[in-house]
Amino acid sequence: MGSTTVQKSALLLCGDYMEAYETMVPLYILQSFGVNVHCVSPNRTAGDRCVMSAHDFSGLELYTELVVDQLTLNANFDDVIPENYDVIIIPGGRFTEILSADEKCVELVARFAESKKLIFTSCHSQVMLLAAGVLAGGVKCTAFESMKPLIELSGGEWWQQPGIQSMFEITDCVKDGSFVSMVGWPTLGHGIEVLLESLGAKVSSLKKDQASVLFLIGDYVEDYGVNVPFRALQALGCKVDAVTPNKKKGEVCATAVYDLEEGRQIPAEKRGHNFFVTASWDDVCVDDYDCVVVPGGRSPELLVMNEKAVALVKKFAEKDKVFAAIGQGKLLLAATGLLKGKRCASGKGMKVVVKVAGGEAVESEGCVTDGKLVTAASAEDLPAFLSDLSTALGLAVMF
């Protein structure tokens, strides 16, 4: 994804039951742009793991919390020197209730604020700003709406996007000085865009027109496999849509998260966030898009049985577009003959699919580009996948 002239570093403050979407999206996107990200948690060291949760609405008045998977820390909290980082990222989730009472964590946030370094918060993690006393004087801030009275009591100025009826209509975040705050994961596309701009990122394109990407999804699409690249491409200024054959714009697809539990041969599947379809199937025109992406999960099984989905991919092939697939997403490309003679990044589960489709399964690389085909072995390879896909779309990011 282009070259990075200045090395940037980010600190990701973690803990049990942090919101998975708000953790993995910035983590993978920043890594794909060459940013060095240290994931730390108090009283834990590199190699320890933190449990993550998914917060989403399931028909009740308040969001539901689902335990999904775990994140492995890659640095020690006690070794953190704030001056070595350009930004601290604090995802939402219940872990901030504990961290807001931890003197070392509160002091860490205060030191970032004193040195005017970027502080990126989401949903409920603004409680760390309250604990550190850094909103006094009218710092403009947004958060999940239950945080409004606390932000105002702490001397901050509450901001809310005008004309909004539902949390899922919110698209904007707010930046005031070195503070960037979001209501929650629905605003991550704009949030990541503001984060990159604040870190000095410059996005360039070889194309005159805005790049456009279509995601083919269905129920039980892999959560990170759709959400991370979707939000990353939004942040880069691309036009991005997600469609599925039997649902209309505004309807949702269930996602899945895969958690490799100790002693298991394969990961356990757990329900993830709902993903909103952004366009109706009959409104899709192949000529409007430069690329089609098929994320993994179990949704490719649904798509490969649907004649409309197979036919749409073949139309993209006829137009010589860019194709990308993650994990099991290669199943749909295999059914359309697009893997024949191609090198494909593949884990063990997709080796047979790639082989019978006439392709070459590459296990030694997490992401492989062969002509206009970009493939990733799994969601864990998303940083490399995002980098290669952006290059295929003619995009580059430099700091």
Statement: residue 6 has pLDDT above 90: no
Report the first-to-last Cα separation within the chain, whole angstroms: 12
- The whole-angstrom separation of Cα 230 and Cα 224 is 9
Span 72-83, mean pLDDT? 97
Query: Which of 281, 252, 272, 254 lies closest to 168, judged by CA?
Result: 252
Quick: pLDDT tens for 343-369: 999 998 899 999 999 999 999 999 999
- pLDDT of 31 higher than 50: yes
Please check the confidence at residue 234 and state whether its pLDDT lies above 60. Answer: yes
State mean pLDDT over 262-277. 89
pLDDT score of 264 more than 90: no
Q: Give the C-alpha separation, 86 to 95, whole Å.
A: 23
Rounded mean pLDDT of 36-42? 98
Amino acid 109: pLDDT:
98
DSSP class of residue 297?
B
297-333 tens-digit pLDDT: 999 999 999 999 999 999 999 999 999 999 999 999 9
Q: Average pLDDT, stretch 189-203?
A: 93
Reported confidence tier of residue 58, pLDDT bands at 50, 70, 90: confident
List CB contacts of 374: < 8 A, sequence separation 6 or more.
322, 323, 324, 325, 367, 368, 385, 388, 389, 392
Long-range CB pairs of 27-32 (<8 Å, 24+ gap) are: 27/71, 28/224, 28/228, 28/232, 28/382, 28/383, 28/386, 29/192, 29/228, 29/231, 29/232, 29/235, 29/386, 30/195, 31/383, 32/1, 32/232, 32/382, 32/383, 32/384, 32/385, 32/386, 32/387, 32/390
Q: What is the 3-state secondary structure (H, E, C) of 303-336?
A: HHCCHHHHHHHHHHHHCCCEEEEEHHHHHHHHHC
- pLDDT value of residue 239: 95
Instruction: Quick: pLDDT tens for 103-114.
Output: 999 999 999 999
Query: What pLDDT does 327 receive?
Result: 96
Residue 1 reports pLDDT greater than 60: no
> pLDDT-based confidence at 4, cuts 50/70/90?
low
The residue assigned the tokens 């989905």 is 309
Task: Tell me the torsion sign for CA atoms 271, 234, 315, 372.
Answer: negative
User: Residue 395: which region, alpha, beta or left (left: phi > 0; alpha: psi -120 to 50)?
Assistant: beta
Among 44-48, 158-162, 299-303, which stretch is predicted with the lowest mean pLDDT?
158-162
Residue 252 predicted with pLDDT over 70: yes
Residues 89, 182 contacting (CB under 8 angstroms): no
pLDDT in the model for residue 225: 96
* Portion of the chain with pLDDT greater than 90, in percent: 86
**Percent over 70 (pLDDT), the chain:** 98
Question: Which one, of 189, 191, 201, 202, lies nearest residue 241 by Cα?
Answer: 189
170: pLDDT strictly greater than 90: no
For the entire predicted model, the pTM comes to 0.94
Asked if 216 contacts 243 with a C-beta cutoff of 8 angstroms, the reply is yes
Task: Give 3's pLDDT tier (boundaries 50, 70, 90).
Answer: very low
